[in-house]
Structure 1
């Protein structure tokens, strides 16, 4: 039972809409409130539905003073107990017919079947598809959808403001008959200016004039139930996640093209900062590892730096140094080549000198570990035999191969079968010539430079590759290596350890990082890590500063404008949904549920803007990397995206968007009436 006790409503313009209303409403039956325009009919109905609250007096529902409920509990009460049929045909445009109808029941966490919805629509002569949207419906059709929405809610009270206002006579009578049937078990309160409908269908007619009840006419006596105070009148439900998600998605994608245009400067700002952060986060190791892979570089050289007195030995590692480095690297991942003083310049077939930088012995595991390929076999390891393995570059120096067959295994095998290598050894002041059998050729992956390209950077890259590679190394058995090392001892230039090593380590298994760590441990003034890409890396570091500054300047230039546009966009996003917010509140949606919908929408917004900005930054980064590669002939990426940068931007964007949205929603929620 509903009681109005001395209810008065005075609006801000001092107009009195209701004055000292006293009335009791039963639990069932059809009650009409009639009167001229401005008599207070709609205001009285709004008091009943908690769509507005009295200036004074109170409304009791089963002895609970509902006018003193908080706004949040008013929304909850409305959801549980009041079904509303609006005069303004308030449907949510972004939802289809079915979604509009089931929204109140979803708030109550009840399931209504599709068949039941279709059946109720048929009862009001509406045969449109339930997947149609309100914009395709006429005013009368929208009215009937709103009626079905109220009826399916199964609330204890249905209030209707001119429910037949948009209907023809046939449909109007059909709707009134349906409401009459429902009023057998529920209270139906209707505001109407059509007295004939009230007299035909009403059980009770309340006449208003200038905000006062001038007559309360009972046509059919309805029983009043004595109801004790119900402590479970306010039972809070929440909007299910899937419904909130669907709302957020539909609101987010509504007029999608306009959203992209409105956020254009924000995209550009985020793109600039993502690009700047990515460049700022440039990691030498990661960049070089990518460069190594792109250029098929499988190892780097660790070199000593000469001391101030320029002692030659300081350029090389001693045996002790080599053994120390073995503790850092797997034996298959490190090769130590000895300096070639024990070997005189070889005489090439064309009469010029061939440069042999070093000599060593290797295992097949090392050959494979360094990404090299072997044609033939390795020398016998433990026998002082005149077997040697040369590189394909040495074969090129000797004039045995040319540029076209430089990597041809068949051609390299023919050299093994038909050639020998004459080597001069220095023993004190004597020179001894030995003829070696070539038992294998190692392809070191050295690519001969294109001599038609006249570019200093390009040429320098290949010089580095030659200088810091194994391309001019001879490979002997271990006994022969020891023999040549003894000759070096006779020359006597290399201190207590007798011999000096050049060290090469693979870049796989963090080899490059380990080499840099060793360089740091030893001090950059003592040790260098070198490869053919070092000069290119130096150029990229120089270029990095320029690109970073440009990205930051662009980001800062766009920042102020984008923040203004972003705040404005979110403001409009909330304001444009004001009607939907009003409708949803009237159906019982709490602020908490509404806030959660916008929170999901902000997540969509953050993901979309960050994703689009990341893609834009990646495209810009690709062109930057390609531009660098064109100029330095090496693909070492300056812009190498990492996941954490977009993630940080995503979180910041989401938090910023939600802060603005929450503020706007709170303001809109507090100032907006439930219905107009």
Structure 2
């Protein structure tokens, strides 16, 4: 079954002389029987046992297992070989202390992929006289009982070979006899190989004795049975001196023995007895005939080990009992590192949209207010131009989600302040050095009873119905309360104590073009937090942020709007403006000298549908970019466009660029040919719409651009009749649109928030108390976030080193157990699974503690911004990413920390691990 051919094993210590433990040893073993291997310490007997068991690797020769060579075996192949064929019994028992007797025995079964049944365990316990001991722990057993547990563990998987290294070395004489009796019975069906120093036991129980000296076999004898007539009372031969049992030496025998000893040129190897126990045949040892040992015909088939999850988990958990103080400190430090990693990643993964969402939710913002911008990309950054909100913008946003319906705030001019009693004509609200723009209300808006309820406002008085009625916001009431009301008729001053004191009072609103006269019919409390904006002793940054926040609220939201009736807006405004301003128009006069007309037109030909546009209006929108867009829209041919630009460059000596040169207009006309090709929404489309809005009965024709003024001129030249129509009303400038919401999901709210962060084209910029600060800080936070990514990586590495340090110590502490597992057939991956479970348990503890720490730290930080610094933003937003990433890092770190030391020790020879080398 097992055959060694010229096996040599040499130990090469780091210091000192190398030792040849086995010197070209060749030996065969039969399929069954009890073989004793004798010899002094260092003779090579244990090395032989370890090589046969696959615990050690030979340097030269070959080990054959059922005829299969092992020269190409890897360590995992030897593991499977032990798991399949070998049952080890160690001198030190080597049972696993954290397992019960039954679990120790069952583990060997489970490694073979067999089920650990109570019947199988009880049966094997009965066979070694340990009935009823299954639930006991090893520390409850005597030495002999532990050894029998080791025997049972070796037997339970039905190995072909049982190998015992000094199995009775730690036992008393009687217990040792019991162990040998047990092994003797087993040898009737299996091969039992025992390394021992005890010659008496070897000759009594062994069926074969192999003796080693200095790495060589010096004696290999096999016990044979003798008939009675074959027994000689005294035999002297090369095997030694043999004396029949019960025979008494005569004086002559002593003389013969002395003569034999005198002639012997070497040490007499042994004095053995020819056994003749009562009821049995006599026996004697003869030289082993290797030719009579037949190799097994059975084909070698290995069973790969499979350590059950439950067993590996239990062993992993038991490792946590050791070095508890070190464990606690490792967990604390690793958890802190993971907390910092989680915080760094939270900052590193900063997302403007998520931050806006959370900030609005946390600040209880229940409305959406937008202004309109046009964003264009340039090599030196983004260019942001404010644009008028048009009716189609309102319709567009209303369609995004029907839960939010937007209404406009209409601006009434550049100098849009109320008339107050202080600071000459205009007032401003100040308190303890905190100055705000409360005297600069944004524009006109409309409210109904339902909207007042939705926003949480309260109304004193009534809503306006007539064109000359107005309702004031609470900020205006506070100004009147502070400075008093000045009667616009006689400039007399009236003290204002409450909202009702203002009802019936007259109010003049002045703009840069005209004045409006109103009667105050009510005051809406918009719930503006005045205490927030009236703080003293603020540092510069806090002053700036609060000032900016309040300015945003008063300029873009209902906090700074005058509430008027529908009839007022219809009587005084039309919907269309040009380039963010009212259209500045004029009739032709001699002041307009430099006009570039389209062929066939002159100043005499300006009709009601024809206009001359000012050059500087075109220039504001980057002519080159506009030409590019028009050409691409018209031709959809970049190659043709580039060719045109090149032709212009060759003809005029330079390429069109962002410039105010007058020649540029000429090239523009030259490239496009006719102004009919110019689809300019900023000019004649606006004029068409304005005509349409002023009077539906007007029989107008599509406006045609017939020329461009190249002077520094701001006016659009129109016919006299069109001029009269244009002067009758102001164009409506919608500064912002506002819509209430209360049941938008996060995703629905994000659909609106995303409009704020468009970086090319039309962007609808959010305006509320949150965005006033967040827009200022976003770019700074994003820059800082990139650095925090590397900070997070650093903390994860530190956590890895802590885990590696602890697991390495744990593996070192469990080195012997690892060796035992390997000896009974476990592979390196099984050992890795044990310590992976240990690391996983630690990782999960670290994870839970870390996430608790991250949640607390994030909550504290966000709360600090709000409560201590009055900053209404939520910068750190804990998401699924952080939960998943911290868990991933914890588990990955734990696995790596387990794998490095385990794989290192797995490369060791199992025997070295058992011996803790």
TM-score, structure 1 normalization: 0.75
- Residues 326 and 806 in structure 2, CA contact (< 8 A), matched pair in contact too: no
Query: Is 1:22 paired with 2:23?
Result: no
1:333–1:506: 8 Å Cα contact kept in structure 2? yes
**What displacement does 1:20 show?**
3.7
Report the Cα distance in structure 2 between the residues aligned to 1:435 and 1:377, rounded to whole angstroms: 9
User: Is 1:108 matched up with 2:112?
Assistant: yes
In structure 2, the CA distance between the partners of 1:2 and 1:433, relative to structure 1 (3 Å rule), is: closer
Which residue, out of 503, 528, 532, partners 1:446? 528
Instruction: Tell me if 1:282 matches 2:350.
Output: yes
| Structure-2 change in CA distance of 1:666 and 1:343 (3 Å) | closer
- 8 Å CA contact 1:464–1:532 kept in 2: the answer is yes
Paired residue for 2:404, among 326, 332, 355? 332
**Hey, what's the Cα distance between the residues in 1 that align with 2:386 and 2:782?**
35
Counterpart position of 1:72:
76
Aligned counterpart, 1:303: 371
2:817 to 567, 577, 580: 580
Please list the CA deviations of residues 213-256 of structure 1 after superposition, one character each: whole Å capped at 9, or x if unmatched: 5252426799x997753335224343344444544454467545
1:296 to partner: Cα distance = 1.4
1:640 matches 2:877:
yes
Give me the whole-angstrom Cα distance separating, in 1, the residues matched to 2:391 and 2:219.
115
CA shift, 1:95, in A, is: 4.5
Q: Distance in 2 between matches of 1:186 and 1:421?
A: 115
Shift of 1:62: 3.1
Q: Match for residue 485 of structure 1? A: 570
Quote the residue 1:510 is aligned against: 750
Counterpart-to-counterpart distance in 2, 1:577 and 1:262: 18
1:590 counterpart residue number: 827
Of the structure 1 ranges 532-541 and 425-434, higher mean CA displacement relative to structure 2 is found in: 425-434
Alignment coverage as a number of residue pairs: 637
C-alpha distance in structure 2 between counterparts of 1:243 and 1:176, whole Å: 31
- Cα deviation 1:300-354 (Å, max 9, x = unaligned): 4323689xxxxxx978634455445445564734221334689996999xxx999
Using the TM superposition, give the Cα deviation of residue 603 of structure 1 relative to its aligned residue in structure 2, in angstroms: 5.3
Aligned to 1:469: 557
1:157 Cα shift? 1.8
Q: 1:486, CA displacement in angstroms?
A: 1.0
The answer on 1:669 being equivalent to 2:754 is no
What is the CA deviation profile of residues 190-231 of structure 1, one whole-angstrom value per residue up to 9, with x for unaligned ones?
33334454455x251414141425252426799x99775333
The alignment status of 1:154 with 2:394, answered yes or no, reads no
| Aligned 8 A contact 1:302 1:530 in 2 | yes
Matched, 1:627 2:864: yes
Report the CA distance shift for 1:173/1:150 in structure 2 as closer, same or farther (over 3 A): same
Distance 2:54 2:533 in 1: 88
Aligned residues of 2:66 and 2:296 also touching (Cα < 8 A): yes
Structure 2 counterparts to residues 156-171 of structure 1, below 5 A: 156-171=160-175
Say whether the 8 Å CA contact 1:302–1:529 is kept in structure 2. yes
The Cα offsets for residues 133-190 of structure 1, whole Å up to 9 and x where unpaired, read as: x567665554343222212222122111222333344544443444344344333333
SS at match of 2:159: coil
2:868 is paired with a residue of what secondary structure?
helix
Question: What is the match of residue 362 of structure 2?
Answer: 294
Structure 2 contact 68–300 (Cα < 8 Å) conserved: no
Partner of 2:304: 236
1: CA distance, partners of 2:25 / 2:390: 107
Instruction: Name the CA distance, whole Å, in 2 between partners of 1:555 and 1:665.
Output: 27
Question: Within 5 A, what are the aligned runs for 1:537-548?
Answer: 537=774, 544=781
Query: Retained in 2: the 8 A contact 1:346–1:423?
Result: no
Distance 2:386 2:884 in 1: 48
Structure 1 position 80, deviation (Å): 0.7
Gaps of at least 5 residues in structure 1 are: 307-312, 400-414
Q: Give the conservation status (yes or no) of the 8 Å contact 1:318–1:499.
A: no
Q: 1:158 to 1:216 in 2, by over 3 A?
A: same
Contact (CA 8 Å) 1:335, 1:362: kept in 2 or not? no
Q: Is the 8 A contact 1:328 1:514 kept in 2?
A: no
CA separation in 1, counterparts of 2:119 and 2:388? Answer: 87
Q: Distance in 1 between matches of 2:524 and 2:122?
A: 80
Deviations along 1:15-51, one digit per CA (max 9) or x if unpaired, are: 4446644343233x43433444444432333233222
- Identify if the C-alpha distance between structure 1 residues 510 and 443 changes in structure 2 by more than 3 Å, giving closer, same or farther: farther
**After superposition, what is the alpha-carbon deviation per residue over 1:485-512, rounded to whole angstroms, capped at 9, x for unaligned?**
313569x995547323231245742265
Larger Rg: 2
- Residues 104, 494 of structure 1: CA spacing in aligned structure 2 closer, same or farther, 3 A cutoff? same
Q: How far apart, CA to CA, are the structure 2 residues paired with 1:240 and 1:164?
A: 32
Query: How far off its partner does 1:84 sit?
Result: 0.5
Distance in 1 between residues matched to 2:329 and 2:416, nearest whole Å = 72
Alignment partners' CA distance in 1, 2:449 and 2:181: 96
What is the distance in 2 between the residues matched to 1:344 and 1:84? 98
- Which whole-Å CA distance do the structure 1 matches of 2:785 and 2:861 have between them? 11
Structure 2-normalised TM-score? 0.57
Per-residue deviation, 1:83: 0.6
* CA drift at 1:630: 3.3
Alignment deviations for residues 453-478 of structure 1 (CA, whole Å, 9 cap, x no partner):
435448645565444432354656xx
2:389 to 286, 299, 317: 317
1:2–1:59 contact (8 Å) kept in structure 2 = yes
Structure 2: state its 5+ residue gaps: 13-17, 226-280, 284-291, 375-384, 428-437, 482-497, 584-689, 691-729
Contact 1:124–1:171, Cα closer than 8 Å, also in 2? no
Describe the SS at the equivalent of 1:289: helix
Aligned to 1:151, the other structure's residue is in SS state: helix
When the two chains are superposed, the root-mean-square deviation of aligned CA atoms in Å is 5.1
Taking the aligned partners of 1:85 and 1:387, their CA distance within structure 2 comes to 104
Alignment of 1:341-360 (within 5 A): 357-360=442-445
User: Match of 2:221, SS?
Assistant: strand
Q: Distance in 1 between matches of 2:449 and 2:739?
A: 15
Q: Which residue of 2 aligns with 1:521?
A: 761
Change (3 A) 1:583 1:612: same
2 CA distance for matches of 1:520 and 1:374? 40
Q: Which moved more, 1:73-82 or 1:118-127?
A: 118-127
- 2:732 corresponds to which residue? 499
SS in 2 for 1:52: coil
Say if 1:14 and 1:167 are closer, same or farther in 2 by CA, change over 3 A.
Answer: closer
